[in-house]
Amino acid sequence: MTPAPQALLLDFDGLLADYDHRRHLQGLAQAAGRSAADVDQALRGDGLERAHACGALPGEALLQSLNGRLGSHLVAADWQAARCGASRLRRDTLALLERLRPGVRIAVLTNNGPLSVAAISALLPGWTVLGSGELGVRKPDPRIYLAACARLGCGPARSLFVDHLFRHVQGARSAGLHADTAHHTQSLRRVLRRWHLL
């Protein structure tokens, strides 16, 4: 019988929360005094958002570049407020996770840069939130899962990763982790029971 995992890594957007990117853009646009389309073009047209999520562009540098393109004065608090406003926690899923077997290390693993990781940490106080910007690589690259396991002090073979995207699950499996998909509380409950974590 395979031993129960000692660490549980969870996706955020699409598993622990519902995220509305348009609402995030609208929040930034309101703070910047520009249109959401302008903000979207500045972030994605020049690859700023992806560079930040990959760890190639620190948060302050992203905001400086964004402000230069928009003629705005956005600060980190504006980003975090917009990100929090665009994220709706799935309370039933979080309640399920409160029933985890004692001693399991739990963390979020998300494809986001430090600005959004700060917002996620504010939404989930006390949680460990590991972002691709900090780790320098994005899911589904196997290296991100190994880096996350190292941060938690748990080997891949004793770690379980759960995401709503199968390609991310495949990346975790190729790194030697146990991994499965879940899209809502019911499917996550089935996964956790299968691995004797409840």
- Record the pTM: 0.94
* Mean per-residue pLDDT, 74-78: 98
CA–CA separation, 120 vs 127, rounded Å? 9
Q: Can you name the residues that pair with 129 across neighbouring β-strands?
A: 108
> For all residues of the chain together, what is the average pLDDT?
96
CA–CA separation, 181 vs 47, rounded Å? 29
* Mean per-residue pLDDT, 169-176: 98
Is pLDDT at 2 greater than 80 in this prediction? no
* Mean per-residue pLDDT, 21-35: 97
Three-state SS at 9 = strand
Is pLDDT at 69 greater than 70 in this prediction? yes
Q: What is the pLDDT of residues 40-66, one digit of tens each?
A: 999 987 799 999 999 999 999 999 999
Q: What is the strand order of the sheet 7-10 is part of?
A: 128-131, 105-110, 7-10, 159-163, 178-181
> Per CATH, the architecture of 21-85 is what?
Orthogonal Bundle (1.10)
Domains 7-19+88-194 and 21-85 share a fold: no
- Give the residue extent of every domain in the chain: 7-19+88-194, 21-85
Is pLDDT at 96 greater than 90 in this prediction? yes
* Mean per-residue pLDDT, 171-188: 97
Q: Can you name the residues that pair with 181 across neighbouring β-strands?
A: 163
* Mean per-residue pLDDT, 132-157: 97
Q: Mind giving me the DSSP string for 120-154?
A: HHHHSTT-EEEEHHHHT--TTSHHHHHHHHHHHT-
Is pLDDT at 193 greater than 80 in this prediction? yes
Correct CATH for 7-19+88-194 of 3.90.1640.30, 3.40.50.1000, 1.25.40.10, 2.40.30.20: 3.40.50.1000
CA–CA separation, 62 vs 51, rounded Å? 9
Confidence band, pLDDT 50/70/90 cuts, at residue 1: low
